[in-house]
Amino acid sequence: MEAKTEETKTKPVEVQSTSRFTKNELINFEKEISELFEQAKIPYVVHFCGGNEEQLIKIFKDIKKEDYKFSTHRAHYHYLLSGGSPEVLKDKIMRGKSMYIFDRKLNFFASPIVGGICGIAAGVALALKRKKSDRKVWCFVGDGAEDEGHFYEAVRYVEGHELPCTFIIEDNGYSVDTPKEARYGKGSEIKWGKHVIRYYYERTHPHVGIGKWVTF
């Protein structure tokens, strides 16, 4: 049985091109949400994006509207660049639902489970190959999820079966708030194959929240 897409209070809008957001528009969206959080109007956990606008805009130029996009608990930018409505996203954030965004019309799926989305992405890619589809799968993870066995197994399966799936490691050097060198020491970065893209960025916000104490 196919899962139903979650309904929102916001009236649906027409799906547009995945390239319609500029760097400043992405930053301004997060700025509005961070201000609402600071004003104690969002009594839920919020994971902000930031610092990786240019890299993502470049990557999404290669992502087609019909492709499958998988994201993490930090999914704001991915959803918007997939053609998602900022009004719908804001509504989800205000209701504490931003960590698991699903939009079947956009083939967009997110999960707060670290590394948990990787195996699902590989499975969808296998189905697409069997159907001889031209669609591709794009799976975004952080460098913390890269440390998980789920990621390793999914990448190995995708590479071994030449599946139409690309994993994008968004490397800000932290797993939550623990830097990479504290986790594994120097020179421990893994070199993956052609199905994995890594980009580096300096995060604008801490792992969660805005870095200020907010009394709700």
86 half-sphere exposure, CB direction, 13 A CA radius: 12
User: Do residues 101 and 73 lie in contact, with contact meaning Cβ atoms separated by under 8 Å?
Assistant: no
User: Do residues 211 and 182 lie in contact, with contact meaning Cβ atoms separated by under 8 Å?
Assistant: no
107: number of Cβ within 10 Å: 20
Q: Would you list the domain boundaries of the chain?
A: 23-200
pTM: 0.86
Tell me the CA distances in angstroms from 164 to 52, 64, 136, one per residue in order. Answer: 24, 13, 5
According to DSSP, the β-strands at 165-171 and 196-200 are parallel
Q: What is the mean pLDDT of the chain?
A: 89
Question: How confident is the model at residue 162, as a pLDDT?
Answer: 98
According to DSSP, the β-strands at 174-175 and 137-142 are unpaired
Using DSSP's 3-state secondary structure scheme, residue 167 falls into strand
Taking only the tens place, the pLDDT of each residue in 108-120 is 999 999 999 999 9
Mean pLDDT check: name the lowest of 15-24, 141-150, 168-177. 15-24
Assigned CATH topology for domain 23-200: Rossmann fold (3.40.50)
b/e map 67-95, b = 16+ CB within 10 Å: bbbbbbbbbbbbbbbbbbbbebbbbbbbe
Percent of the chain with pLDDT over 70: 90
User: Would you call 168 exposed, middle or buried from its count of C-beta atoms within 10 A (0-12, 13-18, 19+)?
Assistant: buried
Beta strands (DSSP E) in 19-154 are: 68-71, 102-103, 108-110, 137-142
Mean pLDDT check: name the lowest of 4-13, 85-94, 134-143. 4-13
Strand partners, 67: none
Distance CA 86, CA 26 (A): 10
Answer yes or no: is pLDDT of 189 > 80. no
Distance CA 173, CA 202 (A): 8
